[in-house]
């Protein structure tokens, strides 16, 4: 009966989500844990893989545990007879463009088959949310489902209670390396365990093994045409007022610079936080935040109002794209960046050197300089940022699997020393070599492609474990990135703070999720609509702002806040 009830709830849940998605604009609110990129995503992110918009606080590098100390060597092969496991794997859908449609196309799956004797069949949904509902309805479950937490909105504890997924702490003997790491750090444990104390799935851990000082939270940010800045005899802005002055000067002095500032925007949502938050200096987030354990909703705050007023001023003065609300730009591509169309625009840090080199063939004086996250005043402190958590869980082992122990052993290998190396660097001598200090270094010649879509992210997707369950070494990416890009990354992050961030791993109960969704679907739609109207001037800050706040509150905001507060309280008590 439990499985039947859970099945019906899952089908109804997915159908309702699909209906809402077709009727409402992009929602800035994240209700369930989601995979958050530790590094930059592919140039064109898949909407079905959209990361959490609410970042989490991160343990300082110097406080990270000794990651694999006490790790257990996994004996290979895992089986004596050929065995096949079924994995439902949405995140690889983006690589179908590279004709990679089965496990043998991915280095670590293919190599693991050689080492373990286990064959993996990957099922790649082309519409993950809809097909998840169909999967639940069929009851023909695979052994392992990636991103389960994104689609099953009643929470992991509910799924465990309904005997849909396995509480992995009951299989700790088959997960010695995972349990060693999870139990080594309170922040990791809090982020991957549930309120009821379960380990609901295989975690993704974002770690640093080699002591790099670089912080990869804000892997995207804003840059300025330095050649224009020098010609104007102006300094790099550090406050929003200084940037406003610069944009005015660009508009007045460069007729070809049609859009002085390119604001990151997707489907009319300019509050999307992917690798950076332009508004962080105002001290609010794209949805919920917390101050000393007390939850607040950001998008009715005075700080949010002041930010919208600034954008409205920029829009009125022609500093922003007049077609902004139909924009599909999260960061600037090379084609647009190498023209004089934009003066200030967003980039992924790995684009920096490539864009400069490309542009200088057409504009010899072309140069870029990074702009650190802005402040309202010079002495203001940063309290929110895009922060990558140490751990997250969204991939689960199904309770119906006849191979639960084997699935656990297969994944635990990727948290052993050998598995970490395979999952991050590939095969020694073929994809990497160790340097004189014993640190693995990729072989650049092993990772080349003539495909114009090929980039660092796609490289890592194909060859190594990346943004999936496993132990992600954030250091690995920096091996193949030039020093200019690393300095940009560091500038974007050196003064960022996250003490007001609402933790993404704080989860609601099934009943709270139901109540919350019924409230926030309407609120989010209304908030997004009003944001656009305030920006372009269809709504007036003097006459309409108070009505806007009252309308949001009347839709049940306080009840939604209570749900988020209860989830936070339980998270802090884990």
Do the domain assignments include residue 508?
yes
**Residue 445 has what pLDDT?**
78
Do the domain assignments include residue 280?
yes
Do the domain assignments include residue 52?
no
Same domain for 248 and 345?
Answer: yes
Same domain for 227 and 308?
Answer: yes
Task: Give CA–CA dist 471/13, Å, rounded.
Answer: 31
Do the domain assignments include residue 57?
no
**Residue 274 has what pLDDT?**
78
Could you say which DSSP state residue 512 is in?
Answer: H
Same domain for 229 and 303?
Answer: yes
Same domain for 126 and 178?
Answer: yes
**Residue 211 has what pLDDT?**
56
Task: Give CA–CA dist 79/178, Å, rounded.
Answer: 20
Same domain for 190 and 88?
Answer: yes
Same domain for 152 and 193?
Answer: yes
**Residue 46 has what pLDDT?**
37
Q: Identify the sign of the CA torsion 543, 548, 549, 551.
A: positive
Number of folded domains in the chain? Answer: 2
Do the domain assignments include residue 271?
yes
**Residue 266 has what pLDDT?**
87
Same domain for 291 and 316?
Answer: yes
Same domain for 295 and 395?
Answer: no
Task: Give CA–CA dist 398/296, Å, rounded.
Answer: 36
Per-block mean pLDDT, blocks of 10 residues, the chain (574 long) = 39 34 33 34 35 40 46 90 94 65 75 94 90 96 95 94 97 96 92 96 85 67 95 97 97 87 90 87 96 98 98 97 86 78 90 86 92 94 88 94 97 93 90 90 75 60 69 77 85 88 92 95 96 96 97 98 97 94
Same domain for 294 and 372?
Answer: yes
**Residue 64 has what pLDDT?**
41
Do the domain assignments include residue 150?
yes
Q: Identify the sign of the CA torsion 92, 97, 102, 108.
A: negative
Alpha-helical segments (H) within 264-391:
302-316, 334-337, 352-360
Task: Give CA–CA dist 28/228, Å, rounded.
Answer: 34
Do the domain assignments include residue 54?
no
Of the residues 453, 473, 493, the one at which a domain ends: 473
Task: Give CA–CA dist 233/235, Å, rounded.
Answer: 7
pTM of the model: 0.79
Of the residues 440, 473, 506, the one at which a domain ends: 473
Task: Give CA–CA dist 135/443, Å, rounded.
Answer: 41
Kindly state the tokens that stand for 491: 């500038």
Task: Give CA–CA dist 242/249, Å, rounded.
Answer: 11
Do the domain assignments include residue 467?
yes
Same domain for 404 and 466?
Answer: yes
Same domain for 489 and 571?
Answer: yes
**Residue 328 has what pLDDT?**
82
DSSP for 160-193, please give it: HHTTSB--GGGGGGG-HHHHHHHTT-HHHHHHHS
Task: Give CA–CA dist 132/148, Å, rounded.
Answer: 8
- Note down the domain range covering 145: 2-33+79-212+389-473
User: Do 10 and 152 form a contact (C-beta atoms < 8 A)?
Assistant: yes
Q: What is the CATH number of the domain that holds 518?
A: 3.40.190.10
**Residue 466 has what pLDDT?**
63
**Residue 212 has what pLDDT?**
54
**Residue 451 has what pLDDT?**
63
Of the residues 436, 456, 473, the one at which a domain ends: 473
Same domain for 147 and 228?
Answer: no
**Residue 72 has what pLDDT?**
85
């Amino acid at each position: 009966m439990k499985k039947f009830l859970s099945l019906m709830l899952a089908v109804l849940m997915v159908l309702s989500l699909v209906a809402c998605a077709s009727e409402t604009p992009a929602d800035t609110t994240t209700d369930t844990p989601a995979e958050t990129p530790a590094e930059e995503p592919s140039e064109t992110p898949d909407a079905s893989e959209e990361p959490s918009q609410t970042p989490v606080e991160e343990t300082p590098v110097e406080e990270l545990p000794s990651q694999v100390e006490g790790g257990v060597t996994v004996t290979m092969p895992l089986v004596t007879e050929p065995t096949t496991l079924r994995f439902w794997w949405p995140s690889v859908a983006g690589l179908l463009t590279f004709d990679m449609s089965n496990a043998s196309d991915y280095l670590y799956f293919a190599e693991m088959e050689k080492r373990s004797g286990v064959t993996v069949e990957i099922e790649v949904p082309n519409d993950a949310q809809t097909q998840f509902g169909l999967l639940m309805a069929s009851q023909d479950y695979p052994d392992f489902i990636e991103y389960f937490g994104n689609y099953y909105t009643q929470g992991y504890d509910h799924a465990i209670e309904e005997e849909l997924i396995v509480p992995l702490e009951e299989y700790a003997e088959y997960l010695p390396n995972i349990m060693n790491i999870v139990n080594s750090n309170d922040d990791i444990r809090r982020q991957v365990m549930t309120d009821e104390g379960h380990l609901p799935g295989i975690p993704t851990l974002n770690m640093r093994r080699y002591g790099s000082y670089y912080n990869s939270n804000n892997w995207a940010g804003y840059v300025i045409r330095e050649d224009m800045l020098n010609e104007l005899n102006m300094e790099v802005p550090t406050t929003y007022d200084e940037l406003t002055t610069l944009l005015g000067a660009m508009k007045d002095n460069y007729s070809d610079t049609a859009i002085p500032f390119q604001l990151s925007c997707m489907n009319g949502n300019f509050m999307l936080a992917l690798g950076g938050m332009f508004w962080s200096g105002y001290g609010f987030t794209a949805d919920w935040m917390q101050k000393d354990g007390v939850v607040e909703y950001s998008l009715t705050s005075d700080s949010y109002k002041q930010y919208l007023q600034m954008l409205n001023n920029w829009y009125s003065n022609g500093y922003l794209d007049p077609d902004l609300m139909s924009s599909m730009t999260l960061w600037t591509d090379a084609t647009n960046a190498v023209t004089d169309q934009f003066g200030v625009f967003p980039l992924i840090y790995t684009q920096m050197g490539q864009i400069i080199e490309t542009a200088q063939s057409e504009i010899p004086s072309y140069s870029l300089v990074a702009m650190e996250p802005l402040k309202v005043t010079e002495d203001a402190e940063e309290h929110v940022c895009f922060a990558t958590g140490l751990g997250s869980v969204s991939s689960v082992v199904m309770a119906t699997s006849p191979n639960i122990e084997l699935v656990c052993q297969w994944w635990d290998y990727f948290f052993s020393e050998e598995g970490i190396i395979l999952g991050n660097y590939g095969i020694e001598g073929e994809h990497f070599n160790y340097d004189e200090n014993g640190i693995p270094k990729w072989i650049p010649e092993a990772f080349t492609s003539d495909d114009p879509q090929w980039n660092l992210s796609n490289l890592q997707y194909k060859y190594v474990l990346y943004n999936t369950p496993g132990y992600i070494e954030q250091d690995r990416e920096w091996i193949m990135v030039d020093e200019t890009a690393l300095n940009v990354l560091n500038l974007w992050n050196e003064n960022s703070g996250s003490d007001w961030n609402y933790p993404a791993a704080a989860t609601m109960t099934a009943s709270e999720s139901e109540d919350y969704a019924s409230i926030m679907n309407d609120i989010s739609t209304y908030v997004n609509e009003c944001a656009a109207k305030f920006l372009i001037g269809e709504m007036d800050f003097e006459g309409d702002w108070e009505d806007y706040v009252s309308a949001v509150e009347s839709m049940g905001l306080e009840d939604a806040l209570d749900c988020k507060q209860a989830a936070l309280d339980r998270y802090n008590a884990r």
